Amino acid sequence: MALIGSIEEIGITDILQLLALSQKTGILAVRNERNEEVGVLYFKEGRIAYGRLKAQNMKERLLQENRIQRMQLRKIEGGMEEGESFENALLRSKLVDVLDMRKYLREYAEDTIFFLCGQRTGTFQFERRVLPINPDLTLFLKTDSLIIESSRRIDEWTRIKEKLPPTDTVLELTPPHKRWRERNLKSSEAILLSLVEQGKSLREIYKVLGEDFTTAKTLQSLLEMRVVQVASPARGRDHLIKGRKYLLQGEMGKALELLEQAVEEGVERKDAHLFLGDLLLRQRNFQKALQEYETAKRIDPQNPTVLSRLGYCYAKLGQISQAISCWENFMLLPFDSSIKERTEKVLKEARIFQRYLDETLPIPAVKTVKKNLKEILKDINRQNGVLGSMAINDTGLVLEKAIPDSDRVEEAAAFSASFLLLAMRSLLLLKMGNLERAVLDKGDWRIHLFKVDPYILVILTGSEIHLELQMSTFQRIFNEIERPIRK
């Protein structure tokens, strides 16, 4: 017979204690007031054997914590046998071993208990059943210590919630932390900062991440460390918020009017331009949308949404090489999402199309737009963070330089050439193909070495710019290099 009751009458903590004391084996399901299942706990002889939350399944959790990537997840799902659990399939894939899997399951079960103990309304139902889980993965957690920890968390959570701003508040990054992507952050912090950067309100953030202890604690620590702050009610902000609301409701006329007003009123936020771009994109006005996204990109050059949509606009306007460049920069950003997979496919097709266009030029080329070495080095030196650059050949001879004169230039050139030779040998031994570029990073400065046949380009930079963006910028400049004709 099942044990059924209302949480308002008997709290989850009491139920857990009861099941522990009577050493029950079975499944406890908890539902909210709308009768939707919110979480499940499996018990084996009074101890917790497994836990699962409705709001976040194991797959989402592993993805969010960067423990597996979306591509790997698809592969695992594709190879799942009928009736097999995801956990078993993951183990079989050998991406994780039993010990790691038990660690993940333990964390997941603990979070499930902490979440369920915080429920104040809804119902529970316990049924004696044989547990449908792999015995190797069955946990054996004592409930007492978890209940104490859960009470501590609930107290702390209540205290944190009192300190946090109201849910309609919008946060913004404080100026010293605008380049947060270049830092090593915890996954939960990185996701939260990305939402803050998108101008989402606390309510919207809770909707994405769940209004739980972890989210509240992360928010509190970011506010305390002054990484984020409550956004100041800048002029035009009201128009921006209302405009976005109309945009989401599909009332384009009103949205356009308000967003344009927000921009005119000097809202120095990329969001106004981003939303305006979105609106124009929906109206299929690609030229104007492109201008808005370009402005948004100037404010925030590493914003994935802006880069992805900018690429789309360029592609729609037939400017394939610019589209490719935007998508390449987008792909370099360190995050994992399904949009990235889609973009990778589109990018591949765009590259093929671009090559086809290049190869089938209907009239003979009469004018070259290529630049000589001197111009290329000048272009490189104009980039942020570049201290100097030079072009050498395979033997280390300096062909052109844009670097302060020093007796170390020739020494550095000789070193670069011999180092590249060793690097090429290593990659070939490891079957990793021809070397394309190398970077030596000392923490405060970097040396970039690019093989741009027949030259080797050596660039000395500071380390304040994101490494991947720096490399892609240089690569783009090299595409314009004039090469000697080989006889």
- Residues found near other proteins in the complex (CB under 8 A): 66-69, 72, 95-96, 100, 181, 184, 331-332, 334, 336, 411-412, 415, 418-419, 422-423, 425-427, 429-445, 447, 467-468
Nearer Cβ to other proteins (168/341): 341
> How far is 456 from 450, CA to CA, in rounded Å?
6
**Minimum gap (Å) between residue 193 Cβ and other proteins:** 14
Angle, alpha carbons 375-356-285 (nearest 5°):
80
In terms of Cβ atoms closer than 10 Å to its own Cβ (0-12, 13-18, 19+), residue 376 is: buried
**Minimum gap (Å) between residue 296 Cβ and other proteins:** 23
Label each residue of 95-113 as H, E or C.
CCCHHHHHHHHHHHHHHHH
> How far is 124 from 440, CA to CA, in rounded Å?
59
**Minimum gap (Å) between residue 206 Cβ and other proteins:** 27
Residue type, 241: I
Nearer Cβ to other proteins (137/331): 331
Nearer Cβ to other proteins (69/381): 69
**Minimum gap (Å) between residue 395 Cβ and other proteins:** 16
Whether omega before 132 lies within 30 degrees of 0, making that bond cis, reads no
Nearer Cβ to other proteins (137/185): 185
Q: What is the DSSP string of 62-88?
A: HHHTTSS-HHHHHHHHHTPPTT--HHH
Nearer Cβ to other proteins (34/94): 94
Nearer Cβ to other proteins (364/433): 433
**Minimum gap (Å) between residue 336 Cβ and other proteins:** 7
**Minimum gap (Å) between residue 220 Cβ and other proteins:** 24
Residue 484 DSSP symbol:
P
**Minimum gap (Å) between residue 434 Cβ and other proteins:** 5
Nearer Cβ to other proteins (241/427): 427
- DSSP SS3 for 93: coil
Contact 63, 336 (CB under 8 A): yes
Nearer Cβ to other proteins (132/462): 462
Nearer Cβ to other proteins (284/431): 431
Give CA separation, 199 vs 95, 244, 274, in Å: 36, 11, 11
**Minimum gap (Å) between residue 485 Cβ and other proteins:** 24
Q: What are the φ and ψ backbone dihedral angles of 7, each rounded to 5 degrees?
A: -65, -30
> How far is 232 from 222, CA to CA, in rounded Å?
17
**Minimum gap (Å) between residue 335 Cβ and other proteins:** 8
Contact 106, 17 (CB under 8 A): no
Give CA separation, 423 vs 188, 321, 417, 478, in Å: 37, 31, 10, 21
Q: Which two tokens stand for residue 116?
A: 């369920």
